[in-house]
Amino acid sequence: MKPIQVGLLGVGTVGSGTFKVLARNQNEIKSRAGRGIAITMVADLDVARAQAVVGAGVTVVADARAVIANPEIDIVVELIGGYGIARQLVLEAIAAGKHVVTANKALLAVHGTEIFAAAHARGVMVAFEAAVAGGIPIIKALREGLAANSIQWIAGIINGTTNFILSEMRDKGLDFGVALKDAQRLGYAEADPTFDIEGVDAAHKATLMSAIAFGIPVQFDKAHVEGITQLAATDIKYAEQLGYRIKLLGITKRTPQGIELRVHPSLVPAKRLIANVEGAMNAVMVNGDAVGTTLYYGKGAGAEPTASAVIADLVDITRLHTADAAQRVPHLAFHPDAMSDLRVLPMSEVVTSYYLRLRVADEAGVLAQVTGIVADAGISIDAVLQREADEVGGEGGATEGTQGVPQTDLIILTHDTREGTMNAAIARMQALPSVLAPITRIRKEELA
């Protein structure tokens, strides 16, 4: 049987990696898939560079639509990225009856409902293992491996750039800005790192996992998105002293009131495996009612790890392109007529625990004032740490403030609290004359 014919849109890092891995492992892949898989046509604006990557045997065009229009092509791999032309091309490929593989988490998190509906109507598959956590087969684990479970929650380090920066900040005691520059110099962060450091990329991925886990539509607009740009070395150090690490987590959780979907820095107990995931690595914890807590770890980005996921999708499609809809895994794990209408909760309704740091005047009565407000709000305190001048170094410690007032850091860990309640309590504390700087609030997840 002749190989299944694949057309690539975009021959950048992942496209080149996909071509390379398919060529290198073609025998093994064919032995698994039962049929060869061949990239026979690629589209890239830089035709000469693309031709150099794929060699003389592959047709290279500048116009992606020529790939979609080619009746020989069975599967289109979209590696252009972004919401714009990529959306158009994916919809056109579907309309042309092509199966689609994409690594484009932004596209699917925002336009997934439209795209999956079109694919369902046309009877083609849209596969996206590469869109979340690179080479880690987390989409397959969620959609198939854990199919027995009522998923309870997912918490993942799903952005390598920010995890690299946080590792650097902790290892070297750096503040965010310095660590970001290091990451850019070493190629772990892009020149414009906004999508990574502001948590948007992680939120795209969390949105996809949330939909698959709970059977809800993709709802990126409902996600709470908070990055790591406000994190100070001080808080990483205090967290460490309290037995925690700070990680940027993508979290989605089932509650009786609805689904939580949020990305923000989180304190995580240092003894958890996920707290020890360092550098640009990714890891996703999944808790199911039957299986308990599982964890999946690996490289979340890079040419060949991402290619590994793209090709796994190509193998699945090679097996199932002749199958009927009932024989295929539904795009969002649940059959379209059996989706859930669970609502995504606004952040004010999320319940979690908190780390608070208050820069306060080092004078009698301040602790009583602060804890009085906390108690009034019905918030239960887990631990309080007051750092005097001789106990801390650097700017985080007790120092003479600009007004000459002796200052100290007051750190409070709370038990589970509704975010809206916490917001109100923080506002009251912030208004105290003895609170000298904006209060730092970082959420805390025990992940037990």
| Closer by beta carbon to its own copies, 24 or else 181 | 24
| Closer by beta carbon to its own copies, 126 or else 312 | 312
Using alpha carbons, list the distances in angstroms from residue 432 to 263, 363, 374, 426, 441. Answer: 30, 13, 13, 10, 16
Q: How far is the CB of 225 from its own copies (least distance, A)?
A: 27
| Closer by beta carbon to its own copies, 285 or else 379 | 285
Phi-psi region of 82 (alpha: psi -120 to 50; beta: other; left: phi over 0): left
Q: How far is the CB of 315 from its own copies (least distance, A)?
A: 4
| C-alpha span between 317 and 305 (Å, rounded) | 19
Q: Quick one: which of 377, 396, 380 has its CA closest to 388?
A: 396
Q: How far is the CB of 155 from its own copies (least distance, A)?
A: 13
- Yes or no: say if 373 and 425 are a contact pair by the CB < 8 Å rule: yes
Find out whether 105 is annotated in a ligand binding site.
yes
| Closer by beta carbon to its own copies, 209 or else 312 | 312
Report how far apart the first and last C-alpha atoms of the chain are (Å, whole number): 51
Contacts of 81 (CB under 8 A, 6+ apart): 10, 103, 104, 106, 107
Query: For 319-353, b where at least 16 C-beta lie within 10 A, e where not — what string?
Result: beeeeeeeebebbbbbeeeebeeeebbebeebbbb
The distance between the two most distant Cα atoms of the chain, rounded to a whole number of Å, is 83
In this structure, the number of other CB atoms found within 10 A of the CB of residue 39 comes to 24
Q: Which residues belong to the active site? A: 205
Find out whether 10 is annotated in a ligand binding site.
yes
Q: Is the dihedral of CA 371, 372, 376, 380 positive or negative?
A: positive
| Closer by beta carbon to its own copies, 70 or else 102 | 102
| C-alpha span between 204 and 272 (Å, rounded) | 25
DSSP code of residue 270:
T
Summarize as ranges the residues that interact with its own copies (CB under 8 A).
17, 21-22, 24-25, 28-35, 129, 134-137, 140-141, 143-150, 215, 271, 273, 276-277, 288-299, 302, 304-305, 307-312, 315-316, 319-320, 322-323, 326-330, 333-335, 338-339
Q: Quick one: which of 38, 30, 80, 77 has its CA closest to 58?
A: 38
> What's the 3-state SS for 350-385?
CEEEEEEEEEEECCCCHHHHHHHHHHHCCCCEEEEE
| Closer by beta carbon to its own copies, 54 or else 425 | 54
Annotated binding site for L-homoserine: 190
Please give the annotated binding residues for NADP(+), written as ranges: 9-16
Binding-site residues from annotation for NADPH = 105
